[in-house]
Structure 1
Amino acid sequence: MIEFEPQMLQVYLVAGSSNMSLGEDLITYVERALKAGITMFQYREKGPIKRTRGEKLALAQQLRSLTRQYHVPLVIDDDLELAIAIGADGIHVGQSDTQIQQVVRRAKQQGMFVGLSVSTPAQLANSGDLTGVNYLGSGPVNATKTKLDADPAIGIPGLLALQDQTDLPIVAIGGINVPIVAIGGINVPDVAKIAATGIAGVAMISALTQANEADLKLRVNQIKAAFA
């Protein structure tokens, strides 16, 4: 398994079967994104396409093999059993998912890192003991259509407020300033302002999945340059 490093958050692709819009299957697209230079991939099956448990397992196993070839960490969204079954590098959970400490304990036993979605300082303060969480996903920065139950957009001011909160010693994250990745309706023109906040990276869906091969490589390089 790959050990977590904050720079892995720079170009964080999040995608599942419902996000494919160019006539590609998920495996073909993810390999294209890996070749373009994404730094982390999260497998998230949400949206109109409903996969059976067996189909999700088969897809996740293919993604596990593919990401290993390119030495890019694979994260599973909100499904610890699936993450354990395929030997994923990480697990990501939201505010409405399983109790975070239960996830952390089991994930760490498997050698996985853990990401947690937190939109506001209040959510962070109410999340309890976060020791063992490796990164926070904050957003949505802009309004997004890829997640029907998304929180209200927080914008750049919201990112700054959460960034300030993580610097406070009262946040119990093992005494470590946990990096934040911004997510939600982000396009390439937004990246420079986001990078200026001190955020570690951006997690994107549409801005990357809707790009053709040439544009995808260009967008990935532009994002990396902003965080260099």
Structure 2
Amino acid sequence: MGMKFEAGMLRAYFIAGTQDVKDKNKTLQEIAKQAMEAGITAFQYREKGPGSLSGTARDEMAADLREMCSDYEIPFIVDDDVDLAVKTNADGIHVGQKDERVGKVISQVGNSMFVGLSCDTKEQVNIANNIDGISYLGSGPVFPTGSKADADPVIGVDGLAALVKVSKLPVVAIGGITEENIVELPKTGVAGVSVISMIAQSDDIFRSVKVMNKTFQE
């Protein structure tokens, strides 16, 4: 059994894969380790898109990151890949609306890991409210983002607040979040923020993570 889900895990949630490392002098492991050292509350391995790893290289990277998360006692979450999640003994798995159907994922991972689901509309949130076995929702993109080629239309701060209002589950914001605009998010009622480039391309990871944790203090 992996780590039990708690809403506090969503406070400073870092999502990354090798494709998000733009500085060729850094490795994903180095960036992730710094982020963990700085106090992120969850890490999601999302290896997708041009330049991403596959096969053995991806499995080895996942195993490395998994071990790091265990050392820092934060949940290791895998994006959308049940086989990899099972192989790495992940704490959680995150599923998108376009990925494998969440019901199927829940039946596959059962009680061994928690499940997060991306929901960007009220209809999607209402459906999620009635599914047993989901722990949290990821909603966005709140702001325009460069990290996902297939990003959906921006929902904005008000759109995010409206989703939080109807959700029975804790919500983590995603999409285009920066150290400047993050201050607009606590009032929406989200439990925290998930970011890719705000950490992966930060010039000071300690500062960036500190901003996340301070903005969403218990």
TM-score by length of structure 1 reads 0.90
2:161 counterpart residue number: 160
Aligned with residue 192 of structure 1, among 183, 187, 191: 183
Name the CA distance, whole Å, in 2 between partners of 1:82 and 1:30: 18
Structure 1 residue 65 corresponds to structure 2 residue 54: no
1:169 counterpart residue number: none
Equivalent pair of 2:136/2:171 in contact (CA under 8 Å): yes
**Aligned-pair distance for 1:10?**
0.5
* Within-5 A mapping of 1:108-187: 108-109=110-111, 111-126=112-127, 129-166=130-167, 177-187=168-178
Structure 1 residue 223 corresponds to structure 2 residue 212: yes
Structure 1 residue 25 corresponds to structure 2 residue 27: yes
* Within-5 A mapping of 1:40-79: 40-79=42-81
Equivalent pair of 2:17/2:52 in contact (CA under 8 Å): no
The one-character-per-residue Cα deviations of 1:88-112 (angstroms, maximum 9, x if unpaired) are 0000000011111111122224x10
What amino acid sits opposite 2:157 in the alignment?
Answer: I
**Aligned-pair distance for 1:127?**
5.2
Runs of 5+ unmatched residues, structure 2: none
**Aligned-pair distance for 1:128?**
7.9
Q: Cα RMSD over matched residues? A: 1.3
Name the CA distance, whole Å, in 2 between partners of 1:15 and 1:74: 12
The one-character-per-residue Cα deviations of 1:138-179 (angstroms, maximum 9, x if unpaired) are 00011112111111000101111101111xxxxxxxxxx310
Residue-pair matches, total: 215
Name the CA distance, whole Å, in 1 between partners of 2:48 and 2:54: 12
SS of residue paired to 1:69: helix
2:194 counterpart residue number: 203
Runs of 5+ unmatched residues, structure 1: 167-176
What amino acid sits opposite 1:39 in the alignment?
Answer: T
**Aligned-pair distance for 1:32?**
1.0
Name the CA distance, whole Å, in 1 between partners of 2:30 and 2:216: 27
Name the CA distance, whole Å, in 1 between partners of 2:216 and 2:52: 35
1:9 counterpart residue number: 10
Percent of aligned pairs sharing the same letter: 40
Equivalent pair of 2:114/2:134 in contact (CA under 8 Å): yes
Equivalent pair of 2:191/2:216 in contact (CA under 8 Å): yes
What amino acid sits opposite 2:200 in the alignment?
Answer: T
TM-score by length of structure 2 reads 0.94
2:39 counterpart residue number: 37
- C-alpha change, 1:157 and 1:82, in structure 2 (3 Å) is same
